[in-house]
Amino acid sequence: MVVTMPPAGSRILVAMSGGVDSSVAAALLVDAGYDCVGVFMRHASPPLPAAEPAHPLAVVSPRPGHQGCCSPTDALDARRVADRLGIPLYALDLTADFDRIIDAFAADYGRGRTPNPCVRCNSWVKFGRLFDHADAIGAAAVATGHYARLDHGPDGPRLRRGLDLARDQSYVLFDIRPERLRRMLLPVGGLGKHEVRARAAALGLATADKPDSQEICFVAPGEHARLVAHRLGGSRSGEIVDATGRVLGRHPGIEHFTVGQRQGLGIATGSPLHVIRIEADACRVVVGPRAEVPETDLIAAEATWLGSPPSEPFECLVQCRAQRTAAPAIVTPLGPDRFRAEFTGGPEHSPGPISPGQPAVCYAADRLLGGGWITG
C-alpha cells in the first residue's frame, strides 16, 4: 500500500462539522505540520408548513444523536475546536447547494425511491464544491472526518473501508470522482471511534463527548415525509394492495415507505406483510410476505468506477444500504455506467431488501471498486 500525502507545510482545507471526527481529523493534520484552514458548511433549514395532526399510519422513528451537522451549535463547536488548534475557520453559505440535494431527495421519494442524500452531499458538496474553495486558497487537498482510507497504486487512487468496520463510511463515498480522490485526505480512517474520542479528550477538544449526528442533517427525525410532501406540493396518498392488485387499505403517502418495510402499514391480515414495491405513478404501495421482498438481483445506473469500467462479469461483494453487510454477487456490466448484480450467497448471505434509489457498491475485500444507484 502506498499512501500519498502532500508535503509537510502544504495548505489543507478541512471540512469541520462541529463533530468529534472532523475535529480530530483537523488535529491530526495540524500535528503533522500542515497549514490547515477549517471551513464550516452552513445552510438554512428548509421551511415546513405548520404540523398537522398525525395520520394514523404515519411512522415517526426518532434516532439517537443530535439533529444535523450544520446547526448553530455545531458552528460554535467547530469554532471552539479551531481556536483550540490555532487555525482559522470560515463559514461557507452553501444553501443553494443543499437546496439541490433536498430537491433531489424529494424527487426520489416522489418516484417511489428511497434516496441517500449523504452520498449526494459528499459528491456534490464536500468533495465537489469545497474543491472550488480549496483552489481559491491554494489548498493541496480537502480533508474530512470520514471513516475510510485512501491509498494509491499504479492504476490510480484506491478507496478502502475504514479499519473500524462498525464505523466504515466508504459506502457513502462511492460517487466521488476519481480525479478528486487524488486530493482527498481521510485522517481518521485508520482509527477506531474509541481512539478518536480518546485523542479528542487528550487534546481538550470541546467535541470529545459529543453525540454522533443523525444521518440526514437537513430534516429532523420523523419529519422527512412532511418535507417531501411540502417540496412536491402535497402527499402522494393512495392504495395499499397485494401482488394480485387486491386493495387492502390506504396510505398517507408513498414518501412514508421503503421496500422491505414491515411496520406502519396499518393493515392486519393474520400474517406479516412487507412492502415489496412502490408504484409511484399510481401512488400504490404493494405488499406481500417476506419471501416476495426483492433480494436476489438488481440493476444499477449512473455507475462510478475507480479505474477502467469493467467489460466482463466479475465476482465481488455488493453492499445495498448503509450499515448492512456486503453480500457475494456476480456483477455484469451493461455498458460503462450500468450493471446488474446477481446475489449468489443464498438466504444466509442476503443483501437485505433491495430499495431503488439506494447505492449498490462493489467491493473486493475492503477495496471499493465502484458502484451505482439502484433502479430496479
Query: Of the residues 36, 69, 70, 217, which is catalytic?
Result: 217
Q: Among candidates 353, 349, 360, which has minimal Cα distance to 275?
A: 353
- 8 Å CB contact between 276 and 354: no
Beta-bridge partner residues of 247: 241
Query: Of the residues 36, 118, 121, 320, which is catalytic?
Result: 121
N-to-C CA span, the chain: 36
Residue 365: is it exposed, middle or buried by C-beta count within 10 angstroms (0-12/13-18/19+)? exposed
Q: What is the spatial distance between Cα 120 and Cα 122, in angstroms, rounded to a whole number? A: 5
- Per-residue cell: 257: 415507505
Q: Among candidates 343, 300, 302, which has minimal Cα distance to 324?
A: 343
Q: DSSP secondary structure string, 33-83?
A: T-EEEEEEEE-PPPP-PPPPPPPTT------SSBS-SSSHHHHHHHHHHHH
Q: What is the spatial distance between Cα 182 and Cα 189, in angstroms, rounded to a whole number? A: 16
Q: What are phi and psi of 190, to 5 degrees?
A: -95, 10
- 8 Å CB contact between 117 and 218: yes
Active site residue 121: yes
Q: Strand, coil or helix: what is 352?
A: coil
Active site residue 69: no
Q: What is the spatial distance between Cα 43 and Cα 100, in angstroms, rounded to a whole number? A: 12
Q: What is the spatial distance between Cα 360 and Cα 303, in angstroms, rounded to a whole number? A: 9
Write down the number of H helices and E strands in the chain: 8, 17
CB-side neighbour CA atoms (13 Å) of 297: 7
Q: What is the spatial distance between Cα 37 and Cα 280, in angstroms, rounded to a whole number? A: 45
List, by residue number, the catalytic residues.
Answer: 121, 217
